[in-house]
Amino acid sequence: MAHPTPRAKTLFTPFNVITGIILLAGAVLTVLRFTKGIGAVTNLDDNNPWGIWIGFDLLCGVALAAGGYVTCAACYIFGLKKFRCAVRPAILTAFLGYALVVLALHYDVGRPWRLPYPIFFSQGTSSLLFEVALCVFLYLSVLFLEFTPAAFEWLNWRRARHIIGKISLVLVIFGIILSTLHQSSLGALFLIVPSKLHPLWHSGYIAVYFFISSIFAGMAMVIFEHAIVDRFLHDEIDEEHHIESNTVALGFARSAAFLMMGYLMIQAIGIAIDNDWHYLATGWGLWYLFEMIGFVAIPALVYAVGVREHNIRLLQWTSGWVVFGIILNRMNISLVAFNWQLPSDQRYFPSFPEIMTTVFIVTIGIVAFKWIATRMPVLHVHPDFPDDH
Amino acid sequence: MGITRRQFFGWMSAAIGSQMVFRPDAKAASTHYFTGYADSMGVLHDISRCIGCRKCEAACNQVNDLPRPERPFDDLTIMENHRRPHADTYTIVNKFTLPGVDAPIYVKKQCNHCQEPACVSACFVKALKKTKTGAVEYDASLCVGCRYCMIACPFNIPAYEYDNAFTPEVTKCTLCQPRIENGKLPGCVEICPKEALTFGTREKLIELARQRIRNYPDRYIHHIYGEHEMGGTSWLYLSPAPFADLGMREDLGVTPAPALTSGALAAVPVVVSLWIVFLTGIHAISKRKEQTAEKEKQAAIDEILMVQQEKLNKTVAQLKEKAKSEQAAAVKQEVEKALAAAEKDADQADSASDHPGNQEEK
């Protein structure tokens, strides 16, 4: 420490110690992964080529980063000006979320240095994964641009801040289109495996399921994240954000309650169209109903109650519940109900290093969010740029 | 957003034009269907003839320069396990002992070289291709290693070199394409001592299989596996027992894999085109609403101001009037008072002057 400051004294906070240990472990695993190969750290095999690095890091990461486009749509397209305070934290979360998705893919794919191939070198346009790759690449760029105003204000680059403000609406519209496409195509990836994914989760509508559930996942994430930020980064939040965050929670919870009920209806339609009713009476059916009732129907009702009674605390808890439900859904589709017909000894369960790598990547996200939110005008308005949000 | 109508039409025609010029082969909703390349090659595996000698496994290992396995190829006990192809084994033979059937049944497994392969349509860098000669070829120089081909394959065939840190590849049977090009038979077909494997054009093989079923109707299940499964495969199978009992799925359907995803892919340009319209439209509506609300608010404020102003003016006028009349009254009163005072003074003066007058008169 060249400049001992008062902050240096508090360097060994519980937060720093725990994240430090995780980051160190992650560094070791990174070296292992890139010198010994995927097989050295994962439980992946030829029947189970996708594990939690895809099921959690990619599918859940993208779904939970949906708050970015949902909040932008609410504020700039539907003109709900009171949601403005939620835009910057949601964009930051989305940007970090997508950046980490791409980082995680570097661990998962065999030759990560070829990740630009599908976009620049050899386009496999018949693949839904190509659509996902292209959209994620473009959307990450859009999110980066959408986040730059906060960085420019922090750096006091007024001209750049002014220019980016001019194209913000175009960016928002582009971002929503790209999100619609890749959120849904992540589900459509599984259209090609009717013989491997359990019929209760496999449906011709799976792309629509992924899109709709990403909307309420994004809303829940915005509410839940504000609760966390309010608890741990309280000093960064200004009065306007404090007041408006309640409006955001009530508005999003109300919309999410309706959306989740609509989602249940299209799930039922999907089962009716494929005539999969008889599966409901099996063990898989119980697991499916557990997901749909326990993590969609009931939280939707609790949302409705919370909105009626203006109980923000209840809405925040319910949002955590919904977020968990989305994770359960994505894991069910990619891991639990995938390869359901294989004998149990050929099924996949993640290895400890695999789980730790995922924890490592999530930790990078949390540290980055904290670093940025304590420096740039994300949770508060910059005094020099009061109306430029 | 300042878009003129001329700009809008310009962009739209550019978008539609580019679709029509660059995508002349778009035929998602047409009646066209694909039945495979003419004269493409395949192999007919007559399961009833296989004796489980594993010679095909050994030959495959040799012609593909694969590493020697831990257990030698003459160890036949390994077939009790129901194996699948892996990174260094492109083909395997599994043994099935069915209840009520004395002799065990041996089934060879390898890439089926589908007519319209799931792996090819799933590959996002075109590292997998279906050649006109029948083989599904893999180009390692393009492969990113996402392993979506392995997810997509309904037969669980492609494998991955998970333990290779720097140049991992997807591996699977090549149909011995290089040997075929040199006029040789695939390694497994060449070595098979019982002619359980027959190499030829797919059309001829289907005819041959039909003929065998016709000639020996009691020996075979009356179904050629691979004729229609997943849109048809280049490898075809004849079996003495139900395929499902031999680890071959009969619930795959006849829809070729690309047809499963074509709808979702077709939705992409539609979403892009419509979302631009919807989103700008909704934005315009909400902005207009905002402006209208602002205007109405202003109008209401103006009206209230006007009414208030009028009221105020009236009150002022009334007050003025009142003040005027009060003033007038006051003036009148004052005047009257003054007049009265003056009169009184005058009277007093009169009476004062009366006295001397009176005195004078007296």
Q: Are A180 and B275 inside 8 Å of each other by CB? A: yes
Inter-residue contact B257 to A192 (CB < 8 Å): yes
Instruction: With CB atoms and an 8 Å threshold, state whether A115 touches B144.
Output: yes
| Residue position matching structure tokens 């109508």 | B5
Residues 6+ positions from A316 with CB-CB distance below 8 Å: A223, A224, A226, A227, A249
pLDDT at A79: 85
Residue A25 exposure: Cα atoms within 13 Å on the Cβ side: 18
Average pLDDT over residues A334-340: 94
Chain A residue with Cα closest to B147: A49
Tens digits of residue pLDDT in A104-159: 999 999 999 999 999 999 999 999 999 999 999 999 999 999 888 888 888 888 88
Looking at the complex, does the CB of residue B148 fall below 8 Å from at least one CB of chain A?
yes
Interface contact flag, B125 A117, Cβ < 8 Å: yes
* A129 CB within 8 Å of a chain B CB: yes
The beta-strand segments (E) located in chain B are 41-46, 92-96, 105-109, 128-130, 136-138, 159-160, 170-171, 197-201, 235-238
Q: What are phi and psi of A381, to 5 degrees?
A: -85, 140
Look at residue B353 in the predicted model and tell me its pLDDT. Answer: 65
Residue of B151, B168, B264 lying closest to A185 (CB–CB): B264
Long-range contacts of A10-16 (CB under 8 A, 24+ apart): none
Q: Which amino acid is at B20?
A: M
Interface test with A, best of B114, B120, B125 (most A CBs within 10 A): B125
Of the candidates B109, B122, B152, B116, the one whose C-alpha atom is nearest the C-alpha of residue B234 is: B116
Collect all residues of chain B within an 8 Å Cβ-Cβ radius of residue A131: 265, 268
Nearest Cα residue in chain A from B265: A128
The phi and psi torsions of A197 (rounded to 5 degrees) equal -90, 135
Provide, rounded to the nearest whole percent, the portion of chain A with pLDDT above 70: 97
Contact A207, A181 (CB under 8 A): no
Strands B235-238, B41-46: pairing is: parallel
A77, A176 contact by CB (below 8 A) = yes
Choose between B348 and B73: higher pLDDT.
B73
A63 closest CA partner among A212, A283, A202, A177: A212
ipTM: 0.90
Distances (CA, A) of A140 to A330, B146, B183: 21, 19, 51
Rg of chain A on CA atoms, in Å: 21
First to last CA, chain A: 37
CB distance A217 to A63 below 8 Å: yes
Set of chain A residues whose Cβ sits within 8 Å of the Cβ of B291: none
Residues in chain A closer than 8 A to B167 (CB atoms) = 111
What 3-state class would DSSP assign to A119? helix
Helix-strand-coil split of chain B, %, nearest 5: 50, 10, 40
Option in B125, B272, B275 nearest A124 (CB): B125
Q: In this predicted structure, what is the pLDDT of residue B306?
A: 93
| pLDDT on residue B100 | 83
Tell whether B259 is within 8 A of chain A (Cβ).
no
Q: What is the reported pTM?
A: 0.86
Q: What angle do CA B102, B105, B111 make, to 5 degrees?
A: 170
Q: How confident is the model at residue B1 (pLDDT cuts 50, 70, 90)?
A: very low
User: Who has greater pLDDT, A222 or A241?
Assistant: A222
Q: Are A296 and A305 in contact (CB under 8 A)?
A: no
Instruction: Determine what percent of chain A is predicted with pLDDT higher than 90.
Output: 72
Mean pLDDT, residues B337-359 taken together: 72
> Which residues in chain B touch residue A83, judged by CB atoms under 8 angstroms apart?
none
The closest CB to that of A192, out of B260, B275, B289, belongs to B260
At B137, is the secondary structure helix, strand, or coil?
Answer: strand
A117: contact with B, CB 8 A cutoff: yes
pLDDT digit string (tens) for A5-56? 445 557 788 888 899 999 999 999 999 999 999 999 999 999 999 999 999 9
User: Would you give the distance in Å from CA A146 to the centre of its chain?
Assistant: 17
Q: What is the mean pLDDT of residues B317-339?
A: 84
Task: Please give the residue that has the higher pLDDT: either A320 or B3.
Answer: A320
DSSP of B182-237, one letter per residue? Answer: TTPPPHHHHH-TT--EEEEEHHHHHHHHHHHHHH-TTTS-S--BTSSGGG-BSEEE
Q: Return the number of other C-beta atoms located less than 10 Å from residue B70's C-beta.
A: 7
Q: Name the residue facing A110 among B121, B145, B283 (closest C-beta).
A: B145
pLDDT at B2: 53
Chain B, 49 to 68: residues with Cβ < 8 Å from chain A are none
> How many angstroms separate the CA of residue B133 from the nearest CA in chain A?
21
User: Do A111 and B124 count as a contact with CB atoms less than 8 A apart?
Assistant: no
Cα dihedral sign, A73-A74-A79-A81: negative
- Return residues 198-217 of A near B (CB < 8 Å): 204, 207
At residue A73, what is the residue type? A
Residue-wise pLDDT for B145-164, tens only, equals 999 999 999 999 999 999 99
The whole-angstrom separation of Cα B354 and Cα B273 is 117
Nearest chain A Cα distance for residue B317, angstroms: 45
Of A79, A128, A193, the CB nearest to B265: A128
> In this structure, what DSSP letter does residue A55 have?
I
Between CA B168 and CA A108 the distance in angstroms is 12
CA angle A304, A310, A315 (to 5 degrees): 60
In angstroms, the separation between the Cα of residue B179 and the nearest Cα of chain A is 27
Phi and psi at residue B46, in whole multiples of 5°? -90, 100
Q: Do B125 and A37 touch (CB under 8 A)?
A: no
Q: Is B4 on the interface with A (CB under 8 A)?
A: no
User: CA torsion B104→B110→B114→B120, rounded to 10°?
Assistant: 150
- Is B136 near chain A, with CB under 8 Å? no
- Answer whether B118's CB lies under 8 Å from B152's CB: yes
Residue B122 has its nearest CB partner, among A44, A127, A176, at A127
Q: Among partner residues B123, B156, B169, which is closest to A124 by beta-carbon distance?
A: B123
